[in-house]
Amino acid sequence: MALLCYNTIVKVKVYAKLNLTLDVYAKQGAFHPIDSVVTSVDICDIVEVAVRTDGRINVCGVQGVEMERNTAYKAAVGFRRMFGHLVSKKINGVDIFVQKGIPFGGGLGGSSADAAAVVYCMCRLYGVDIYSGEVHELCASLGSDVNFMLFGGLARMQGKGDDVTLYKLNQPLYFAVTTFEQGMNTAEVYAAFDNINLKREHNATRKSDNRGKLADETLALLQQGANSEAIKLFTNDLQQATISLNNYAGDYLHYISSNGLQCCLTGSGSAYYVACATKAQAEQVAEKLNARGFATRVCISVPYGIVEI
């Protein structure tokens, strides 16, 4: 029996993510296993999904991306493929409206956020349980971090990234997030990472001996509310690989080191952040960076990935 829509429109905010730690291991098949502590932050896209009665799927608001390559479109197609047997053919199309607030190609999870938002909205429209195994499988097929973006908050992502364990952050974290016009290609960054590690074989031994310890220690400190100590551990294995491809952030990195600050790349780039234990500290850092011409905003961690509006 086909399900009927509970609503005809669902509108949400979907939040960006920052990688607080990112351990990358030797490639296995087509993927690099990772172990990453991540948090949602209050940079967001707004996504609205409305039911159509002609079976068509349209996406508006995302410029410069072919429809078939758009993650929001892929999410709608994937949802219909997986749950089409439950949905009346008369109402299985959707209009998707995306208002971008998460920068493209910044390592903030913008494309995965839109996919997660569409999955969430269509689950709400058609009465599908977002906690179901089928939804997890669908999200994993759309991108390695889509499952995290669906729920958000503080989490540990392992394996391909779709093995997600959620945690509660004891105290909020604050960030001065700097974005650049330069976008990075994730596949190219991982290839550069492989080339660097071939030249440094001892890194593979280090990783094997210490697998998971960085994430364990970081999460333990965050659970204790020892944010200042946890921040000292924030690091990203892809940062050197990104710099080796394009040192677009060279002036920024020089300024950071010259002023005794600690920054970290998120994802495979191109955004960097300075993590702080207080909002006042983050605002002070952002003010200095903006005065030097680096586009920087203050963000706070949030305990969710998607909220309805």
- Contacts of residue 277, defined as CB under 8 A and 6 or more positions apart, other chains included, come to 171, 173, 174, 227, 228, 231
Question: Encoding tokens for residue 286?
Answer: 């952002």
Asked about 27 being catalytic, the answer comes back as no
CA–CA distances in Å: residue 195 to residues 21, 50, 192, 198, 242: 21, 46, 5, 5, 12
Query: Could you say which of 13, 17, 74, 207 is catalytic?
Result: 17
Q: Please state, in angstroms and rounded to a whole number, the distance separating the CA atoms of residues 46 and 297.
A: 19
| Axis-axis angle for helices 71-83, 110-126 (nearest 10) | 30
Asked about 42 being catalytic, the answer comes back as no
Strands (E) in 76-140, as ranges, are 93-99
Question: Encoding tokens for residue 52?
Answer: 């159509």
CB 96 within 8 A of CB 49: yes
Q: Please state, in angstroms and rounded to a whole number, the distance separating the CA atoms of residues 30 and 172.
A: 36
Q: Is the dihedral of CA 27, 30, 35, 39 positive or negative?
A: positive
Number of H helices, E strands in the chain: 11, 12
Query: Could you say which of 23, 114, 145, 237 is catalytic?
Result: 145
Partners of residue 215 on adjacent β-strands = none
HEC string for 273-287: EEEECCHHHHHHHHH
Q: Please state, in angstroms and rounded to a whole number, the distance separating the CA atoms of residues 285 and 261.
A: 9
Q: Please state, in angstroms and rounded to a whole number, the distance separating the CA atoms of residues 110 and 91.
A: 28
Catalytically active residues are: 17, 145
